[in-house]
């Protein structure tokens, strides 16, 4: 579990992650996965440090798994939910962050419905000259780096459980299907998967997949991005299919005729999986609209579905991230 090569202080985006950094996260997470399989699942690594979960937007998996990850590393955790905080009395986001700073917080895990909030808080911490790290737990439609990394870990550890590493993804075909326009998960995954050498095939109705996604990644990534406004070409021989929730809370216009029609055109079912590679596996970051982006039977089928594995991987990957940015602080 070496962090000798780790120099990143905040984790805000995957856009500039290197393959060495991806491999360090994957291998560190694999070590923590082993810790989590022991009878005693706790290590003293972050004893005495404070991890504050500042969630200005709803969450089940991300918040709980960051909290559990911090606890497994023996950190003290603080949980904040904006609806029950002094923000209802008019306190600003930066003042809220400074309140947690004054309590001795070492790592702030931040989710906000607006893109850029974690970056703004990180900048303010740097300006103040304090050694507080900020971890982006999802900012608007922009990025969700820890989800991208746990998806990468889930896929790579399926391909080689002993040594998950990015080179395993070379020339794999990965389809991402659903509400790509509003998805920070899609954006983070496009960075990590194309940097790892996988080809990413995006599929959605045109209203949820604008042409600008063709230019989303930098030209030098070994994997490429392809756009499809029909599902079938994206699924053809795909090794993995990642489905995304229709994010109704972010839709400002009527972008779809009906959920029923969406399911007919883009919903994942057992019969549609037959177009894919015979060993295909299915991912979904959750929460799932059962029967809309994926059929209920397929979601619960352990032969294809990695959805529960993604949730379990989330704890090990978030332990890895907290360890890598936190272990220099003690």
In terms of Cβ atoms closer than 10 Å to its own Cβ (0-12, 13-18, 19+), residue 211 is exposed
CA separation for the pair 4, 316 (Å, rounded)? 19
Taking CA atoms, 123 is separated from 79, 89, 92, 134, in Å, by 22, 25, 16, 9
- Report the nearest approach of ligand NCD to the CB of residue 102 (Å): 29
Q: Does 245 bind ligand NCD (CB under 6 A)?
A: yes
Residues 63 and 310: their CA atoms lie apart, in Å, by 14
Measured from the CB of residue 311, what is the shortest distance to ligand NCD in angstroms? 8
Q: For residue 294, which phi and psi values (nearest 5 degrees)?
A: -155, 145
Question: Binding residue for ligand NCD (CB under 6 A) from 72, 142, 144, 173?
Answer: 144
Which of residues 125 and 182 has its CB atom nearest to ligand NCD in the complex? 182
Site for ligand NCD in 47-76 (CB under 6 A): 61-62
Find the shortest distance in angstroms from Cβ 247 to ligand NCD.
Answer: 6
For position 185 contacting ligand NCD by CB under 6 A, the verdict is: yes
CB nearer to ligand NCD: give 144 or 201.
144
Our finding on whether 312 is near ligand NCD (CB under 6 A) is no
Instruction: Give whichever of 138 and 326 is closer to ligand NCD, judged by the CB atom.
Output: 138
Angle at the Cα of 247 from the Cα atoms of 244 and 249, rounded to 5 degrees: 165
Asked if residue 313 lies in contact with residue 285, where contact means CB atoms within 8 angstroms, the answer is no
Q: Quick one: 138 or 205, whose CB is closer to ligand NCD?
A: 138
Q: Which is nearer to ligand NCD, 29 or 101 (CB)?
A: 29
**Contact (CB, 8 A) for 86 and 96:** yes
Examine residue 148 and tell whether it contacts ligand NCD (CB under 6 A): no
Q: Contact 181/204 with Cβ under 8 angstroms?
A: yes
Residues found near ligand NCD in the complex (CB under 6 A)? 61-62, 138, 144, 147, 184-185, 245, 247, 285-286
């Amino acid at each position: 579990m070496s962090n000798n090569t780790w120099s990143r202080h905040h984790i805000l985006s995957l856009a500039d992650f290197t393959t060495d950094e991806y491999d360090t996260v994957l291998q560190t997470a694999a070590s923590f996965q082993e810790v989590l399989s022991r009878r005693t699942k706790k290590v003293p690594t972050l004893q005495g440090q404070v991890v504050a979960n500042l969630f200005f937007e709803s969450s089940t998996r991300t918040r709980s798994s960051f909290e559990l990850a911090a606890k497994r590393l023996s950190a003290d955790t603080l949980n904040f939910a904006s609806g029950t905080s002094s923000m209802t009395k008019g306190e600003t986001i930066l003042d809220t962050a400074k309140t947690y700073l004054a309590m001795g917080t070492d790592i702030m895990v931040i989710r906000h419905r607006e893109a850029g909030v974690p970056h703004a808080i990180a900048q303010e911490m740097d300006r103040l000259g304090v050694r507080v790290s900020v971890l982006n737990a999802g900012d608007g439609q922009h990025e969700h780096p820890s989800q991208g990394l746990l998806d990468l870990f889930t896929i790579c550890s399926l391909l080689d459980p002993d040594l998950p590493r990015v080179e395993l993804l070379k020339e794999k075909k990965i389809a991402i299907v659903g509400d790509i326009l509003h998805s920070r998960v899609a954006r983070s995954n496009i960075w990590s998967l194309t940097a790892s050498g996988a080809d990413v095939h995006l599929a959605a109705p045109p209203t949820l997949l604008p042409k600008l996604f063709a230019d989303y990644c930098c030209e030098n990534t070994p994997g490429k991005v392809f756009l499809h406004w029909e599902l079938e070409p994206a699924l053809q021989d795909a090794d993995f299919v990642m489905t995304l929730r229709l994010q109704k809370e972010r839709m400002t216009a009527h972008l779809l005729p009906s959920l029923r029609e969406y399911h007919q055109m883009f919903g994942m079912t057992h019969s549609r999986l037959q177009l894919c590679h015979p060993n295909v596996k299915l991912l979904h970051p959750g929460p799932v609209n059962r029967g809309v982006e994926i059929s209920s039977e397929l979601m619960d089928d352990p032969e294809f579905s990695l959805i529960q594995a993604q949730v379990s991987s989330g704890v090990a990957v978030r332990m890895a991230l907290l360890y890598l940015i936190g272990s220099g602080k003690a």
